[in-house]
Amino acid sequence: MSDVRSAPLVAHVIYGLGTGGLENGLVNILNRCPPERYRHVIICLTSAGSFANRITAPGVEVVQMHKRPGHDLRMYWRLLRLLRRLRPDILHTRNLAALEVQALGVFLPGTRRVHGEHGRDIFDLDGKNRKYTWFRKCMRLMVGHYIAVSRDLESWLVSSIGVSRKRVSQIYNGVDADSFSGGEAKTVFPDGFLPSDKLPVIIGTVGRLAEVKDQALILKAIDILLRDFPRDSLRCVIVGEGPMRSELESTIEKLGLNDVVWLAGESDNVAGFLNAMDIFVLPSLGEGISNTVLEAMAAGLPVVASDVGGNPELVEHDKTGLCFPVGDEIQFAGCLSTLISNPERRRNMGHVARQRTERDFDWNRTVASYLSVYDYVRRSRMLAANGKQRRFPDTGQGQVAGKQANKH
């Protein structure tokens, strides 16, 4: 048996370890990674919250750098000293907020460099911000290999940032399908929220209450739906917490939706909420790959989502759900109206969605693909030194760019 202490070390650098899709994916990958293959350390440029408690993998250190706003040069000096002490085999940064750390990798002989794109910045949802594009193009010279969580992000890295397709691997997140299906809906709603004489169609979403998630569009769509459907036939629950809460509360009050919409706050019982819903919605202004959409699909729910980023890669229109143009409350309401009026269609879409998660989005497959990337970048220097051609490994996943790269 190999010595776990001698396993190669991966230093994962992220902005902070709070609640979010990037953080959820990282924790799930680390918890499932065989400890004899790789060791891991998470370096938070800012801080780590209680989300760090979800790490169950042995020996994973979480380091907080407490970066101050702006360009905190002292923090980067401390980070370089930390990296020199750790001597990681692989430096894996994620998203724009951590991309500049790749420059420190130049001072770490033997460390291979990987960067993951999980979604664009709130100030650059379409990936066309000139300053950010220039910065990314400069930094691509320091990144050895990229991982994109969607085909949309993979295509953008190649066409807009100029990254060679052979240097990009597209790997979807996974979902623990068994955790979100098969159980009865728990009593998650407050007393008096549901009508006493009938069971309404429950529309719901889960996510941080942030501008990019555009939960306000849900409220506008509900207001439109109530022109055609009785008030006691519909209920909406929005699970999550964040900076937009007060604005959403004001909109609910303004539209007179207090009896129809419930802001449930943050919850550890996401599965319970999903099992209580009939339709899941995600009207994001921008998205990489949504973990909550995968969880909703695993729970057997049809999904209505904005046609942006990686959403249409998960939500196959008219098969596992419906897509609508981003920001269009009229078409959003129209999609919801279609599903509200047709329970059989909802059930069929949810069944297909559940089957797809079982077939295409298994966490073990995702972990195997990440390990293949790590193995590849570690041996690439030796192969190049010997004059041999580097070839990305075939991970066996049709949606992972290992196969796609070999076609070009």
SS3 per-residue string spanning 143-182: CCEEEECCHHHHHHHHHCCCCCHHHEEECCCCCCHHHHCC
Q: What is the pLDDT of residue 260?
A: 97
Region of poorest pLDDT, from 51-55, 154-158, 323-327, 387-391: 387-391
Instruction: State what percent of residues in the chain have pLDDT above 90.
Output: 80
The SS3 assignment for 202 reads strand
Q: What is the pLDDT of residue 300?
A: 96
Predicted confidence (pLDDT) at residue 404 exceeds the cutoff of 50: no
The answer to whether 393 touches 400, Cβ cutoff 8 Å, is no
Q: What is the pLDDT of residue 379?
A: 87
Distance CA 206, CA 129 (A): 29
- pLDDT tens for each residue of 50-67: 888 899 999 999 999 999
Predicted confidence (pLDDT) at residue 184 exceeds the cutoff of 90: no
Predicted confidence (pLDDT) at residue 402 exceeds the cutoff of 70: no
- pLDDT tens for each residue of 313-349: 999 999 999 999 999 999 999 999 999 999 999 999 9
Predicted confidence (pLDDT) at residue 387 exceeds the cutoff of 60: no
The answer to whether 221 touches 204, Cβ cutoff 8 Å, is no
The SS3 assignment for 232 reads helix
Mean pLDDT, the chain, rounded, equals 90
Residue 1's pLDDT band (cuts 50, 70, 90): very low
The answer to whether 239 touches 280, Cβ cutoff 8 Å, is no
DSSP 186: P
Distance CA 165, CA 167 (A): 5
- Exposure of 233 by Cβ count < 10 A (0-12 exposed, 13-18 middle, 19+ buried)? middle
Residue 207's pLDDT band (cuts 50, 70, 90): very high
> Which residues on neighbouring strands pair with residue 91, listed in sequence order?
11, 113
Q: Which amino acid is at 73?
A: L
The answer to whether 313 touches 152, Cβ cutoff 8 Å, is yes
Q: What is the pLDDT of residue 406?
A: 35
The dotted CATH code for 4-174+362-405 is 3.40.50.2000
> Which residues on neighbouring strands pair with residue 170, listed in sequence order?
148
Q: What is the pLDDT of residue 50?
A: 83
Predicted confidence (pLDDT) at residue 159 exceeds the cutoff of 70: yes
Q: What is the pLDDT of residue 396?
A: 43
Q: Which CATH superfamily is domain 177-360 in?
A: Glycogen Phosphorylase B; (3.40.50.2000)
Residue 120's pLDDT band (cuts 50, 70, 90): confident
Predicted confidence (pLDDT) at residue 6 exceeds the cutoff of 80: yes
What average pLDDT does the segment 389-395 reach?
51
The SS3 assignment for 237 reads strand
Q: What is the pLDDT of residue 407?
A: 34
The answer to whether 210 touches 283, Cβ cutoff 8 Å, is no
Region of poorest pLDDT, from 94-98, 185-189, 192-196: 185-189
pTM for the whole thing? 0.88
The answer to whether 336 touches 353, Cβ cutoff 8 Å, is no
What average pLDDT does the segment 260-282 reach?
94
Query: What token pair was written down for 39?
Result: 């060791």
* Domain boundaries for CATH 3.40.50.2000 within the chain: 4-174+362-405, 177-360
Residue 49's pLDDT band (cuts 50, 70, 90): confident
DSSP 390: P
Name the more confident of 186 and 209.
209
Tokens 């941080």 sit on residue: 208
Tokens 């990489």 sit on residue: 288
The answer to whether 215 touches 288, Cβ cutoff 8 Å, is no
355-389 burial: b if 16+ Cβ within 10 Å, else e:
ebbeebbbbebbbbbbbbbbebbeebeeeeeeeee
Q: What is the pLDDT of residue 122?
A: 78
The SS3 assignment for 263 reads strand
